[in-house]
Amino acid sequence: MIGRILIPASFATLLLGVWELAVRSFGVPVYILPPPSRIAITFFTRFPMLARHGATTLGEIALGLTLAASFGFLLAIALHHSRSLERGLRPFIVASQMLPVFAIAPLLVVWLGYGVWPKVVVTALIGFFPVVVSELDGLRATSRETVDLLLSMGATRRQLLTKLLLPASLPSLFSGLKLAATLSVVGATIGEWVGARRGLGYLMLESNARLHIDLVFASILMLTLIGLLLFGALRIIERWALRWRDSAGGSASARRGGG
């Protein structure tokens, strides 16, 4: 337990120490690479501004992620229930992932303007695929025997979905959601780079142009914190929703920890 915190912490300290020392001893100018101490000071002194832009970005992420999760979830259920729909759409879903979202982000600005929507759409597009694929895998993971059991009890299609397929797919769904959350930070940032007046992506671009590199790093730090916050929140919801797994998973990790 101590090792799980202590080892990464000392590693981070070492890395920051080397960075600080290198920047100072080689006399690297602040507008090329500021030392970590300077970034930390900027982060705390400019925190109100960073928080304001962070709130904008977080809002875009939350909206985009919600869209990705809802559409991905519903589409996965539809695809699971219709063979022909799946055959028809699967190539397009896969192709949509080959498409670099970067490339269509400027178009989204043309279509949707400079407001919040192009960012939300970019975020949703990026997060959509992991949700669909993982939920679809989860729905397929149910064994034939349990399906047989419920059918023999006289379950309707709806009961089969709510009592068996959906709960069985939850672990997969959460893996997809966590991946989508990680990607959504990237999505919102790209969306803001292409055209925005607010948000951490905008702040990064602005500060970069003015050679305020410490503010660029402070924005990156803020984005990282937002990503960690989202991931942590999802972990908490996942723990609660999959508490039936805790017992088995807990003993397995205890065994690993003991070895």
Q: At its nearest, how many Å lie between another protein and the CB of residue 132?
A: 22
**123 or 175, CB closer to another protein?**
175
**112 or 155, CB closer to another protein?**
155
Q: At its nearest, how many Å lie between another protein and the CB of residue 217?
A: 44
**15 or 237, CB closer to another protein?**
237
Q: At its nearest, how many Å lie between another protein and the CB of residue 74?
A: 21
Q: At its nearest, how many Å lie between another protein and the CB of residue 110?
A: 47
Q: At its nearest, how many Å lie between another protein and the CB of residue 145?
A: 4
Spatial CA neighbour of 192 closest among 108, 130, 131:
108
> Which residues of the shown chain bind another protein in the complex (CB under 8 A)?
143, 145-146, 148-155, 159, 163-164, 167-168, 170, 242, 244-245, 247-248
**82 or 143, CB closer to another protein?**
143
**175 or 207, CB closer to another protein?**
175
